[in-house]
Amino acid sequence: MLFSSISFLYYFLPVVLIVYFIIPNRGKNFVLLIASLIFYFVGEPIYSILMIASSLLGYIHGLLIDKYRGTKKAKVALISSIICGVGILGFFKYADFFIANINDLFKSELGLLHIALPIGISFYTFQILSYTIDVYRGQAQVQKSFIKFATYVSLFPQLIAGPIVRYTTIEDQLSQRSSSWDNVYNGSKRFIIGLAKKVIVANTLAEVGVLFANSNDKTVVLYWLVAISFMLQIYFDFSGYSDMAIGLGRIFGFDFLENFNYPYISKSITEFWRRWHISLSTWFRDYIYIPMGGSRVNVLKWIRNILLVWLLTGFWHGAEWNFIVWGIYFGILLILEKLFIMKILKKIPAIFHHFYLLFLVLIGFVIFNANNLSTALTNIYGLFGGLDIPLINSETIYYLRNYLVIVVVAMIASTPLLSKIVTKLKEKAKGLKALQVVEPILLSLLLFIVTGCLISGSFNPFLYFRF
């Protein structure tokens, strides 16, 4: 089930909300757990058992770590938890990747398993691992209630597309949280904005990629239009789903941390990754990078740490070589920035910092968006006139006329400009009163437009099938 679907918006969610707010506080976690299992079961009936089993393993390992705290048995339990989590993720997500590469390397003919990737497994596996590691470190209290722990793992607002919510973030809220009309309103507002970002902006931009794939008359300008459109699409898709998750969490009384902070206004790759998919970046930082020594080691070990973390970051996104190359690409850029590029950037006007950042990120997402390395290289060649194609033609001009407006709108909306305007209005009494009247009307209009798009059967891709 997707957030951007009629069945979720007008059937599942209203029923869950009604039951949730009617039920006494002591039963709210149980309601959320059952709702989350139903939510997941609709899309992944068989793999619902896998998620429950993973939750049970995480719960048991947490209890064992706490029981034997300070002994070798606790460390054994932690290692067992990591092996189980990584092992399950590795089998379902990467088995065919390794078999295919073994076949290519050794000219063998091992049969592929053709295992379907369970939706959300990358997200909930990392959440379980963060819990057991934090319990071992003494940074989180062990959860004695399986209902509460399973609710944390399977919580449907962030189950299939993140953000990666750490147990420590909502530890207290699992036991005690309050609901208020302010939370419901602000959560609903955040959800509708995220929904509009996904359905109106991201889905429209995604159409450009489909047209490109079906075109037999490609041009250099069309390659650029597709690259820019995907760069914007993936931001509005990811951040839109994060907004929806944060909004839904707020409605139910949870405070999830922000996951995106206008990454395209960054002035360096380093800053970009502090603003993009924050929950993933900080997860790898806290559980992989820092334990290896982080930057508190000599230069060669630091380079090793960066490259290993970014290789894993790329691999986390998908079982294809282009994802691995994408991760290493950003790892190398971060190393080069630290060694000398930042020194150069400080000597030139800030506007060039943005162009530098946007260009390198665009190339990165061209690699990310490809089905394989060969396609990625072809698309990069296409950007720079390396293919035997014209600069522009009538078909490309037609696409530009149809999609240039949404691209420009997306560019503006990817900056904090609109947010700053709203903040300025709120600082004035008349502006605040106007917003109190206009805001609900605009939110209702957005929901109406989104509903119309979904009813009409508009293109509604789900990027997270790859993760």
Report d(CA 333, CA 329) in Å as an integer. Answer: 6
Of the listed ranges 47-51, 282-286, 376-380, 455-459, the least confidently predicted one is 455-459
**Nearest by Cα to 43 from 119, 114, 99, 126:** 119
Question: Distance (Å, rounded) from C-alpha 448 to C-alpha 454?
Answer: 10
Quote the mean pLDDT of the chain.
Answer: 92
Please say whether the beta carbons of 418 and 412 come within 8 A.
yes
pLDDT at 4: 86
pLDDT of 456 above 90: no
pLDDT digits (tens, 9 = 90+) for 89-99: 999 999 999 99
**DSSP-assigned states of every residue in 273-325:** HHHSSHHHHHHHIIIIITTTTTTSS-HHHHHHHHHHHHHHHHHHH-SSHHHHH
Q: How far is C-alpha 6 from the geometric centre of its chain's CA atoms?
A: 22
Euclidean distance between CA atoms 296 and 82, whole angstroms: 25
pLDDT at residue 467 is higher than 70: no
pLDDT, one tens digit per residue, over 241-295 is: 999 999 999 999 999 999 999 999 999 999 999 999 999 999 999 999 999 998 8
Long-range contacts of 359-362 (CB under 8 A, 24+ apart): 360/269, 360/333, 361/231, 361/264, 361/269, 361/272, 362/227, 362/228, 362/231
Check: CB of residue 3 under 8 Å from CB of residue 195: yes
Q: Please give the span between the terminal C-alpha atoms of the chain, in angstroms, as a whole number.
A: 16
Looking at the chain, the whole-number percentage of residues with pLDDT higher than 90 is 78
Residue type at 230? Answer: F
Helical H runs in 384-428?
A: 394-413, 417-426
Comparing 80 with 42, which gets the higher pLDDT?
A: 80
Using alpha carbons only, give the angle 307, 313, 315 rounded to the nearest 5 degrees: 100
**DSSP per-residue codes, 217-234:** S--HHHHHHHHHHHHHHH
What SS3 state is found at 390? coil
Contact between 74 and 68 (Cβ < 8 Å): yes
CA atoms of 233 and 458, how far apart (whole Å)? 15
Q: Could you tell me how many helices (H) and strands (E) the chain has, helices first?
A: 21, 0
Model confidence at 430, in pLDDT bands (50, 70, 90)? confident
Which distant-in-sequence residues (6+ apart) come within 8 Å of 410 by Cβ?
A: 201, 205, 232, 236
Q: HSE on the CB side for 293, CA within 13 Å?
A: 12
**Set 61, 114, 277, 317: catalytic member:** 317
Within 10 Å of residue 152's Cβ, how many Cβ atoms? 29
Cα separation, 139 vs 151, in Å, equals 20
Nearest-angstrom CA–CA distance, 56 and 29: 16
Reduce the DSSP state of residue 101 to 3 states and report it. Answer: helix
For 347-404, how does the pLDDT look when each residue is reduced to its tens digit (9 = 90+)? 888 889 999 999 999 999 999 999 889 999 999 999 999 998 999 999 999 999 999 9
Tokens of 393: 């033609």
pLDDT of residue 184: 94
Residue reference for tokens 């962030």: 158
8 A C-beta contact, residue 100 and residue 372: no
Does pTM surpass 0.75?
yes
Sorted by sequence, the CB contacts under 8 Å of residue 190 that are 6+ apart come out as: 243, 244, 246, 247, 250
Structure tokens at 121: 């497994």
- Helix, strand or coil, per DSSP, at residue 266: coil
Nearest to 320 by CA among 273, 377, 379, 368: 368
What single-letter amino acid sits at 52? I
The pLDDT of residue 461 is 74
In terms of phi and psi (left: phi > 0; alpha: psi -120 to 50; beta: otherwise), the region of 268 is beta
Q: Is the pLDDT of residue 109 over 90?
A: no
- Collapsing DSSP to helix, strand or coil, 371 comes out as coil
- Structure confidence at residue 102 (pLDDT): 93
| Model pLDDT for residues 166-183, shown as the tens digit of each residue | 999 999 999 988 888 899
Q: Catalytic site residue 317? A: yes
Query: What band does 315 get if pLDDT is binned at 50, 70 and 90?
Result: very high
pLDDT on residue 465: 60
CA-to-CA dists, residue 33 to 88, 239, 268, 315, angstroms: 22, 25, 41, 30
Run of H or E including 174: helix 167-175
Q: Give 310's pLDDT tier (boundaries 50, 70, 90).
A: very high
Lowest mean pLDDT among 3-7, 88-92, 221-225: 3-7
Q: What is the pLDDT of residues 182-204, one digit of tens each?
A: 999 999 999 999 999 999 999 99
Give the Cα separation of 258 and 413 in Å (integer): 17
What is the percent of the chain with per-residue pLDDT over 70, rounded to a whole number?
A: 98
Q: Using one digit for the tens of pLDDT, what is the confidence trace for 117-155?
A: 888 899 999 999 999 999 999 999 999 999 999 999 999
